[in-house]
Amino acid sequence: MDLEGTPLLPTRGFAGGLTRSQFLGITCLFWVYVTVSNLLYGYSMRIGTAHLGTVILFASWDARLLQHVFLLPMLLVSFWASLRVQWSPLLVTLPLQLVLGVAFAAMAYPALILANSMLGSDEMHEPIVAHIHALREPFFLSLWLASFVNFLPAYGFGLALITGLALYTRFRNSELRLAALEREWSAARLAALRMQLSPHTLFNLLHTIRGYIEWDPKGAQAMVVQLADLLRRLLNAGERDFARLTDELHFASLYLELQQRRFVDRLSVVLPSAAQIPSVWVPSLILQPLVENAVLHGMAGHQMPVLVTISVSLSDEVLTLQVCNTIAPNRTAGAAGIGLRNVRERIAVQFEGRASLVTTAQDSQWRSELNLPAIRDAPAAPREAGDNYRAARLARI
């Protein structure tokens, strides 16, 4: 079952995973082919053997056509039962499959006799109907055996065709269900990662405002208003998988502005100009952990000024986002925190190896470089993709 309660388990369908229309269409098309080939074969043999004697060995085309019409319902029932029985366990199902095939092929010649009788043409069967025990007539048995041998392979070929299509349909449906489950799983995982960011950012900002209240209450009130705007944007961004890069940078600038109010004399920020920002989409809140990491870890371990720089570049359809910050001299790089782990997990889920995050510390500077595929158009939401899959699945049932 998916996140919205829709069952994703495989359904049997009408027969072996095929819908009613698929089953009827495939079987009827196959039987039309068999009918046409048998009519052409019977007609050519009837003409070729006409000079051999007075006994007619091959029925007329209209009798053969009516024979195939009589056999079609039996073929549909046999194929339907065969797909329901399937082939597992083989020791149980194989005898049942053989019974269905033999029963169908055995009815082929009686159907031809019935067709001749309805058309008022007994030219083939006069030697038979003259005897009371017609089933013991060698002429009848030979013709019945010839018909049985002709229709049994045809039944087998048709069964192989429709079974193969049923297996392919089930495989395709299972692939669609697997893709839907993967999308739902990815959406759930991304939602969890975004929820992980929300309290992390909130606690950092509340800590900032708390420190500001002690010596500038009015400034703290203004920061609360800014925090409300920031949280509103945070909640909206947390509901989306992707956002415009301009919105992400604006969100980061709001956060940095709040931090600058706290560290007035220590924190400086350099942001890219509007002309430098390409019109692309990026994962929602993907830049925020890098910015928080730059501020918090840049301030740690010293009382010197800290410069945070955000740069953007686009080359060969690869978007590069860099967040650089100065750090304490001779400071060694520590273990990756929650923010960097969050970013790496998200790009692994959303881009499957086509994105990377590289962090380096050199010459009293920490650099986080994020490389992403350039997304020009707004990506479809996973919920919308799941709805499209479910609508297509309901249309097939």
127-138 per-position pLDDT tens digit? 444 433 444 556
**Cα–Cα distances in angstroms (integers) from residue 183 to residues 11, 16, 286, in the given order:** 20, 27, 19
Q: Class for domain 185-383, per CATH?
A: alpha beta
As beta bridge partners, residue 366 has 325, 361
Q: Return left, alpha or beta for 325; rule: phi > 0 is left, psi -120 to 50 is alpha, else beta.
A: beta
pTM: 0.51
As beta bridge partners, residue 281 has 244, 375
Greater confidence (81 vs 237) lies with 81
Residue 88 has φ and ψ, to the nearest 5°, of: -140, 130
Segment 112-119 long-range contacts (CB within 8 Å, at least 24 positions apart):
112/59, 112/63, 112/64, 112/67, 112/147, 114/67, 114/70, 115/59, 115/63, 115/64, 115/66, 115/67, 115/70, 116/59, 116/63, 118/66, 119/60, 119/62, 119/63, 119/66
Strands 281-283 and 306-315: unpaired
Tokens of 7: 């069952």
d(CA 39, CA 302) in angstroms, rounded, equals 96
Tokens of 236: 């909206």
Side-chain half-sphere CA neighbours of 202 within 13 A: 13
The yes-or-no verdict on residue 306 having pLDDT over 60 is yes
Q: Of 229, 282, 235, whose CA–CA distance to 253 is shortest?
A: 229
d(CA 273, CA 311) in angstroms, rounded, equals 9
The yes-or-no verdict on residue 303 having pLDDT over 70 is yes
Sign of CA dihedral 159, 161, 165, 171: positive
Confidence bin at 74 (pLDDT 50/70/90): very high
d(CA 38, CA 298) in angstroms, rounded, equals 85
3-state SS assignment for residue 273: coil
* Residue found by looking up tokens 């329901």 in the block: 84
Tokens of 176: 């669609």
Q: Return left, alpha or beta for 17; rule: phi > 0 is left, psi -120 to 50 is alpha, else beta.
A: left
Side-chain half-sphere CA neighbours of 297 within 13 A: 25
Section 96-116 average pLDDT = 90
Question: What is the reported pLDDT for 134?
Answer: 46
Question: What is the reported pLDDT for 191?
Answer: 57
Query: pLDDT tens digits, residue range 213-246?
Result: 777 788 778 878 877 777 777 666 656 778 899 9
Could you give the residue range(s) of every CATH 3.30.565.10 domain in the chain?
185-383
DSSP 332: P
Greater confidence (45 vs 107) lies with 107
The yes-or-no verdict on residue 97 having pLDDT over 60 is yes
- The Cα diameter of the chain in Å comes to 122
* Least confident segment among 71-85, 206-220, 298-312, 367-381: 206-220
- Burial of 23 by CB count in 10 Å (0-12 exposed, 13-18 middle, 19+ buried)? buried
Question: What is the reported pLDDT for 370?
Answer: 95
Greater confidence (275 vs 239) lies with 275
Given a contact cutoff of 8 angstroms between Cβ atoms, the answer to whether 292 and 343 are in contact is no
Question: What is the reported pLDDT for 195?
Answer: 52
Query: pLDDT tens digits, residue range 11-24?
Result: 456 777 788 888 89
* Least confident segment among 118-132, 135-149, 238-252: 118-132
Side-chain half-sphere CA neighbours of 389 within 13 A: 24
